[in-house]
Amino acid sequence: MINSMTGYGEAQGEVNDVTYTVEIKTVNNRYFKAVIKLPEQVAFLEEDIEKLLRKNLSRGTVNYVLRLKDVPAHVLFDIDQSALHTVIEKLSRIGSSAGVAGSIDVGSLLNLPGIIRPALPDKEAARQISSAILKTSRQAIGKLKRMRAAEGAAIEADLKRRCRAIEHDLKRIRARSEAVLPGYARRLKKRVNELLAQAGLELDQVVVAREVAVFADKSDISEEIARLVSHLKQFAAPLKAGQANDQAGRRLDFISQEMLREANTIASKASDADVARWVVDAKCQIDRIKEQVQNVE
């Protein structure tokens, strides 16, 4: 079984009357990339969350968002009273020395940098928060992985169907290619006999045989067909139950490129209209396969 890189998972947890909502979205990426957005109060968890994501997801862009709900004010921010007192004292001294009388608007001073700062939990509170958020994150990851597995099953079914279509085209191409050479030899002899008859000359069988041999060498696609069949077998291996791994997407992408390479070679050697048409059909299927595997983990 294979997994898609596209998915969504959400979960909620609560600790100390604060609700934590975790939302994870993933899209395809050649490598693993984590984009983690946390409130400042729990920014210390970023490294642990990234490790958890890497442990469960091998590829894709992972967008992780943590939101807080029903948060008391003392949990959100804290006031640096020492810094505030220092500012007030300095302003008072400046006012006195300048002979300016008036009151100081403490509320305006709160907008100064460093006066209001995120409230950081103590050691015990941080432990509880960490445990709750990581537990909630694992629940969201579980939902995400189930969705990726379901999407992967749909991709797998489509890939298998397209591989069967390519195999069918190859059978027709192989059968037709075996009849192309004798047909070419007959047409060549007929054309040469017609031309020589007009000139009153006899056909040189050796020359005709040489031309047929050259044509056979240039149009021989048996090796390309054999390699393409081999690629299809290698492609099918990761699609079998229990054989997929973290590198399945990269492996399938590489094999699909090799499949297209062989199909292009067959197309360049094709000297028959039916063969050319079936090769085009096979290449269309391979192109769709290449698009699909871009989203396989």
263-296 pLDDT tens trace: 998 888 777 788 888 999 999 999 999 999 999 9
> How many CA atoms, within 13 angstroms, populate the side-chain half-sphere of residue 268?
8
pTM, full prediction: 0.72
CA 152 to chain centre: 12
Q: Please tell me the distance from the alpha carbon of residue 205 to that of residue 96, in angstroms, as a whole number.
A: 121
Residue 59 has pLDDT above 60, yes or no: yes
Q: Which of 67-81, 129-143, 185-199 has the lowest mean pLDDT?
A: 185-199
Identity at 292, one-letter amino acid code: Q
Contact 150, 8 (CB under 8 A): no
For residues 11 and 243, which has the higher predicted lDDT (pLDDT)? 11
Strand, coil or helix: what is 294? coil
From first CA to last CA, the distance across the chain in angstroms is: 11
Q: Model confidence over 210-226: pLDDT tens digits? A: 655 555 556 667 788 89
**Tally of CB atoms within 10 A around 172:** 15
Q: Which residues contact 168 (CB under 8 A, 6 or more apart)?
A: none
- Cα four-point dihedral sign 252, 254, 257, 261: negative
At 22, give phi and psi (nearest 5°).
Answer: -105, 130
Q: Model confidence over 164-185: pLDDT tens digits? A: 999 999 999 888 876 665 655 5
pLDDT for the residue numbered 292: 93
- Cα four-point dihedral sign 183, 184, 187, 188: negative
For residues 206 and 44, which has the higher predicted lDDT (pLDDT)? 44
Residue 254 has pLDDT above 60, yes or no: yes
Domains of the chain: 81-109 (no CATH), 157-293 (1.20.140)
Q: Please tell me the distance from the alpha carbon of residue 277 to that of residue 173, in angstroms, as a whole number.
A: 9
Q: Model confidence over 4-23: pLDDT tens digits? A: 999 999 999 888 778 889 99
Nearest Cα to 129, choosing from 41, 36, 37, 24? Answer: 41
Nearest Cα to 241, choosing from 182, 177, 157? Answer: 157
At 26, give phi and psi (nearest 5°).
Answer: -130, 145
